[in-house]
Amino acid sequence: MSISSRMDRLRRRAELLKRLRQFFDERGFVEVETPLMDAEIIPELHIEPFGVCAIDPASAGQSAGSQSEPCRAPALWLQASPELHMKRLLAEGFGAIYQITRSFRRGHRGRLHNPEFTIVEWSRAGDGMAEGVELLDALCRWAAAAPAATLTSYGEAFAQYAGIDPHHADYAQLAEAARRLGVRAPEGLSAASRDEWLNLLLASVVEPQLGASGPEIIYHYPATQSALAATTVDAKGNEVAERFELYWHGIELANGYHELTDAAALRRRFVEVNRQRAADGRPALPLPETLLTAMESPGLPRSAGCALGFDRLAMLVLGADAIEDAMTFVEGD
């Protein structure tokens, strides 16, 4: 990339940031700032956070080797998303908030990933999934001059591009679909992990087709993939998550939830995440007790929240092929 086009891209990136702020400001959202580093994080099954270790100045000088020792019990974590603190603010009584900040996820490096990235996160009290989807669509049209998004359920997307019913297909049907579609199964993918097979098909054959002719919002994920979203029963009787994702040109841009407000249910999900992490040989992560306590009292209001990968949106708006062309510096620069 030549210097002039790099400067031009960074200027356009800055304009996109301004447009996003304008979108939220005009709708009465308050821009907030929350910690990048905290003793608590949201435990996720497939997101590895960076632990932060303080180097004790008394021992740091003793041997150069001690500094490279892995940090076994980090006192603080770099946030993989600001949602934990955003939910705490909602519980305090904020009605509509947003922020544009940095988030950190270990081991993510590729055409669409950098371990440190810019995230746009917003939450609004009173919203359910329909309002959350509507707001995301409005933002995409405003910021990226996109046409109105089409709405497709997770079940419809799998029926169309993988020829299966993701809510009922068993292991044999999932493996057969992968074979039929020429999808190479990863080494050692077990028959037991239905969600991993769905993830494989999603990444390999469904995602690349999504949002080909304009933004597309996928909703009603299987309840087993609800993360922090409330669950419901769809028209066909499937238990589904009120979780929605925005795709454009085959690229995942945003993930939103009609938030689960039941603290006890959320705690059970976190415990289950840690059980599965331990089964995979990965460390359990501390539970966000402060958030869980706030959800018990005063309680999290009915709300929807959403996170958008800003670098990816900038990449699409700039017509770039990789996020590094839309970012100022990436890891290794």
Partner 1 sequence: MAIYSTNEFRKGLKVQIEGVPYLMVEMNFRKPGKGNALYECKLRTLLRGTVVDKTYRAGQTLESADVAEFTAQFLYKQGDQFVFMKNDDYEQYEMSAEAVGDAGRFLKENMDCQVMVFNNQPIAVTPPNHVVLKVEYCEPGARGNTATNVTKPCKLETGAEILAPAFVNIGDWLRVDTRTGEYIERAKEPSA
Contacts with partner 1, residue ranges (CB under 8 A): 44-46, 48, 106-111, 113, 184-189, 195-196, 199-200, 202-204, 207, 225, 227, 245, 252, 255, 280-282
Report, in Å, the least distance between residue 184 CB and partner 1: 5
- Closest by CA position to 161, among listed 122, 87, 218: 218
Given a contact cutoff of 8 angstroms between Cβ atoms, the answer to whether 208 and 252 are in contact is no
How far lies 191's CA from each of 89, 176, 180, 203, in Å? Answer: 41, 12, 17, 18
Given a contact cutoff of 8 angstroms between Cβ atoms, the answer to whether 277 and 43 are in contact is yes
- CA 53-58-61 angle, to 5 degrees, is 90
CA pair distance 121, 123, nearest whole angstrom: 7
Report, in Å, the least distance between residue 123 CB and partner 1: 17
Report, in Å, the least distance between residue 107 CB and partner 1: 3
Report CA torsion sign: 153, 156, 161, 167.
Answer: positive
**44 vs 131, which CB is nearer to partner 1?**
44
37 DSSP β-pair partners: 78
Report, in Å, the least distance between residue 207 CB and partner 1: 7
**81 vs 123, which CB is nearer to partner 1?**
81
**216 vs 294, which CB is nearer to partner 1?**
216
CA pair distance 261, 87, nearest whole angstrom: 10
**106 vs 179, which CB is nearer to partner 1?**
106
Tokens 């795709």, residue located: 247
**35 vs 208, which CB is nearer to partner 1?**
208
CA pair distance 61, 280, nearest whole angstrom: 36
Report, in Å, the least distance between residue 223 CB and partner 1: 13
Report, in Å, the least distance between residue 278 CB and partner 1: 12
**18 vs 179, which CB is nearer to partner 1?**
179
